Amino acid sequence: MADIETIVFTVVPLAIPVVAIVGGITLAIVRTRGQQKIAELDRRERIAAIERGVDPATLPPPAAMGGYENGNGWGSRLRRAHGLMIGGLVTVAVGGALMIFLSTMEPGHKHWTIGLLPLFTGFALLIASRIVWPVDSK
């Protein structure tokens, strides 16, 4: 029988990426199904309103066809820019912390350079946030 410590050190590192991948795929499926359900309910509501005699021009735009694209919903540029900015700040912080941590662990080695990858990824996200940020045309 294998020692519990051996099992923990061999199985847990292999399980982490599997759980992350399966969780990400599951999240994408659940989100897509939720958006489909919202669009379906919105279409049913519009059809019911039209059957009751409501003028379709007075109804709000359908969610599936731009209801969330009006500047304050899920698809707005401002929301996307905020998401990129938050992701960029977190990634820059992780990269900087990783560089500091690795430089203090073994001062004579250059392992701190591993932190450059998340650091520059974070900077790229911040630049993308600035590019996507909506411009007020006044």
Same domain, 79 and 138: yes
pTM: 0.51
pLDDT at 71 over 50: no
What Rg do the C-alpha atoms of the chain give, in angstroms? Answer: 24
| pLDDT-wise least confident of 54-58, 83-87, 125-129 | 54-58
Scored b (16 or more CB within 10 A) or e, 81-103 reads beebbebbeebbeebeebbeebe
Same domain, 82 and 17: no
* Closest to 44 measured CA to CA, from 24, 59, 29: 59
44-50's contacts with Cβ under 8 Å and 24+ in sequence apart are none
Q: What's the domain count of the chain?
A: 2
Please give the residue range of the domain that contains residue 43: 1-67
